[in-house]
Structure 1
């Protein structure tokens, strides 16, 4: 199939507020409400106009954790970087998805750094435009995301970025078909209740959905957990013992990942925690169940020097980068320092994830299968556009378990206009189900069924209506203080 030529015309951003059913710790703050940005992008594909969509939470205190920046500052920065990406993209000449992405990635990165933002935040702006372009291409050509990767519809030339990928096509990383089921890796957040006694009777939601870790394990039949740690050895150990106790009582086998949340400036300090876990009789099975550790080091030091071999040996589990994956070459650089993994998140970039998958596959030809790897992480992808686009990429990459918790912190699809929630259920009945008066994400035996995501575009057959969202210019951060989650304007 010949590579399509695309010209980005322009776009508009709609903002909607999503109110959490329970507070959750995101980065260095506890969040009770967040704004979600939906981008509608007009693109000419081989001369024909088509619309593409992308959506994501404007997650404060994750992209930029500097204490001098307020949550309102963070959201303003994220909106600014999307607008900058739109300005850059609209000035680009016609080209393939890959050529447009390379120019966009370089220029937005430059502008963000020059403006005092950071490279991870720059990636977010690029990724919003990139996803909408890919969605438009798929809709114009009738191809699913998997089909577009298999046919190299993006025109990716890996060797132009990483010489070791010269001659390799993205199809080389694909299985025969995309995954149709993905195991859900449930995140145990730092303020999440573990058992019923952790919730005061006055604070119980009693909304028909699970509230505690014990509830989720029992009701969703979970086999994978992601556990966040706070960086305080005493409180972390006590909390991990409680979590391990809940796991042991089920008699089930679990696979675990630990999220270090950038809580350490020295790897030796994190290694001491891992050594204490391994030596604790109550945590023996817990330690053995750990698959990998995500980003224990703060991003400013994570890639500053090779990882200490003695500390790595003490940790005994592979490390991956997440927040430190702020630019296109970050994973490549991290491998040279001793890391083995990198997280996929649509909010950091789709083509970046494809290139990272190709790097891992190429390195594993020598190092052995599974030595270098991608995980799938994104705490708060919400239905429809954000969640399904991310799952479509994960299904293509063949990552068999994925961090998901939007269904935990937010109540089903109630952040959407009712008409969009109903359309999602009709178009994707494997991924959603009706629960009383609500439409919620369907979890079956600890997995998400996602065969219906193989549709033209980025995995969603039903489209957002920007007329039911607030224009970015009219939205204010103060609107997140409203406690009525049912007010008009809650959306994607």
Structure 2
């Protein structure tokens, strides 16, 4: 490849990464955990805006689905929600409580043909306890993004230790670690926003962060901050997507037995009931060839 073509390819790849940041939805505040740990954690200066963790606690909520839901090749009829609460304070003494919540999506974050639903969920719960202890023990000050970048290697190490202790047939995958840790991450971001009297999405600029994006993503992002890729104000309206599982009934003829509980039981019924215009279709996962 010529030097000229190499430069063109490099430029195209760089634009692709930037375009990804501009267009990728930030579905949760767990995004910082996916950042590359470009350098080890350190605070260049102690600022009044930096945060220190005081306490972390968590609990679970259990829910049963109205009807089973099939995706990723498995049918599930329940959900376990991990709720995290934290207390944190700024170096100027001001404190706030934060809250984060995340479904323990073991079916898709820890898929296994060798372990049961309860076993993979149990592994995630064991990991959540370790993540709580690691997070609560962290006493450095910093922005939540930097705190989580610093803690991610410890979370991954804890997952390996839990896998060995429980003698799991398959180790806890990294995706599952990020899902488990995301509720803790979200709680820290929530506390950071509250202690400053802002939405947490308003705290990703140079006024609040020690590092620019080059610290996490590489030198081509020098001088840029995450707020460049976020909306300044929340959208007034969002489309409601109706998720269609692989075993959901589309029309009346697809139903073997009616529940008759007053709610729609087919996709066509839900379209009329809610005036749906956006649909998300889950793949069955039966044929991966």
Q: TM-score, normalised by structure 2?
A: 0.72
**2:52 alignment counterpart:** 7
Q: Report whether the alignment pairs 1:226 with 2:280.
A: yes
Give how far 1:131 is off: 0.3
Match of 1:62 among 92, 108, 129: 108
**1:185 alignment counterpart:** 241
**1:32-43 residue pairs with structure 2 within 5 A?**
32-43=77-88
**2:154 alignment counterpart:** 107
**2:34 alignment counterpart:** none
**1:374 alignment counterpart:** none
Q: Report whether the alignment pairs 1:16 with 2:61.
A: yes
In structure 1, list runs of 5 or more residues that go unmatched: 233-262, 270-492
Q: CA 1:229–1:90 in structure 2 vs 1: closer, same or farther (change >3 Å)?
A: closer
Q: CA 1:147–1:117 in structure 2 vs 1: closer, same or farther (change >3 Å)?
A: same
**1:41-56 residue pairs with structure 2 within 5 A?**
41-46=86-91, 47-56=93-102
Per the alignment, in what secondary structure is the counterpart of residue 183 of structure 1?
A: coil
For 1:160-207, what per-residue CA distance to the aligned partner results, in whole angstroms no more than 9, with x for missing partners?
121122211112113442211111222211011101222245x32433
**1:124 alignment counterpart:** 179
Give how far 1:87 is off: 1.8
**2:261 alignment counterpart:** 206
Give how far 1:13 is off: 1.6
Per the alignment, in what secondary structure is the counterpart of residue 150 of structure 2?
A: helix
For 1:21-53, what per-residue CA distance to the aligned partner results, in whole angstroms no more than 9, with x for missing partners?
111114332122222221111222333332211
Q: CA 1:132–1:154 in structure 2 vs 1: closer, same or farther (change >3 Å)?
A: farther
Q: CA 1:204–1:178 in structure 2 vs 1: closer, same or farther (change >3 Å)?
A: same
In structure 2, list runs of 5 or more residues that go unmatched: 1-46, 164-170
Query: Conserved in 2, the CA contact under 8 Å of 1:5 and 1:96?
Result: yes
Distance 1:44 1:103 in 2: 18
Distance 1:22 1:152 in 2: 48
Query: Conserved in 1, the CA contact under 8 Å of 2:87 and 2:97?
Result: yes
Aligned residues: 232
Q: CA 1:73–1:67 in structure 2 vs 1: closer, same or farther (change >3 Å)?
A: same
Q: CA 1:152–1:127 in structure 2 vs 1: closer, same or farther (change >3 Å)?
A: farther
Give how far 1:119 is off: 0.3
Query: Conserved in 1, the CA contact under 8 Å of 2:264 and 2:273?
Result: yes
**2:21 alignment counterpart:** none
Query: Conserved in 2, the CA contact under 8 Å of 1:28 and 1:61?
Result: no
**1:304 alignment counterpart:** none
Per the alignment, in what secondary structure is the counterpart of residue 161 of structure 1?
A: helix
Distance 1:176 1:204 in 2: 45
Q: CA 1:81–1:26 in structure 2 vs 1: closer, same or farther (change >3 Å)?
A: farther
Distance 1:181 1:151 in 2: 29
Q: Report whether the alignment pairs 1:172 with 2:218.
A: no
Query: Conserved in 2, the CA contact under 8 Å of 1:11 and 1:40?
Result: yes
**1:183-332 residue pairs with structure 2 within 5 A?**
183-201=239-257, 203-207=258-262, 209-231=263-285, 264=288, 269=289
For 1:392-427, what per-residue CA distance to the aligned partner results, in whole angstroms no more than 9, with x for missing partners?
xxxxxxxxxxxxxxxxxxxxxxxxxxxxxxxxxxxx
